[in-house]
Amino acid sequence: MSAIERWNPARDGELSEAAMREKLERQGYRVSRYVYPPGTYFPDHTHAIDKIDGVLSGRFRLVLEGQDAILEAGDCIAVPRNAVHSAEVLGNEPVVSLDATKV
């Protein structure tokens, strides 16, 4: 499983949507913002492209090829193309997510 990359204020500055978007765009990704309400669940699926899921707020559980990861504010994880994964919002707070795909 890909390692969770935690936001590092010393390296990345203060966490904000603009800062995370800029960081992902510098890596060659096209970034879209999504808000997932509590109870949102995405069953097992794949994508034909490499992507990164980044969380700005809330808690997001990602199961990537059978491995569990809990993403919180400032966390990003790479989801390789064709990797089977599912995801769900944990708790009562919506998840604000940046979905980054390779251009």
Residue 1 lies in a domain: no
Distance CA 96, CA 24 (A): 15
Percent of the chain with pLDDT over 90: 93
Residue 86 lies in a domain: yes
Place of tokens 């970034």: 31
Distance CA 16, CA 14 (A): 6
* Best CA proximity match to 96, nearest among 24, 32, 30, 46: 32
Could you tell me if 38 and 91 are in contact, meaning their C-beta atoms sit under 8 angstroms apart?
yes
Distance CA 21, CA 68 (A): 25
Here the CATH number for the domain that contains residue 19 is 2.60.120.10
Q: What is the pLDDT of residue 65?
A: 85
Q: What is the pLDDT of residue 45?
A: 95
User: The domain containing residue 89 runs over which residues?
Assistant: 9-102
Residue 46 lies in a domain: yes
Residue 92 lies in a domain: yes
Q: Average pLDDT in the 9-29 region?
A: 96
Residue 4 lies in a domain: no
Residue 47 lies in a domain: yes
pLDDT, tens only, 22-55: 999 999 999 999 999 999 999 999 999 999 999 9
Residue 19 lies in a domain: yes
Task: State yes or no: pLDDT of 80 exceeds 90.
Answer: yes
Please give the tally of structural domains in the chain. Answer: 1
The strand pair at 41-45 and 85-90 is best described as: antiparallel
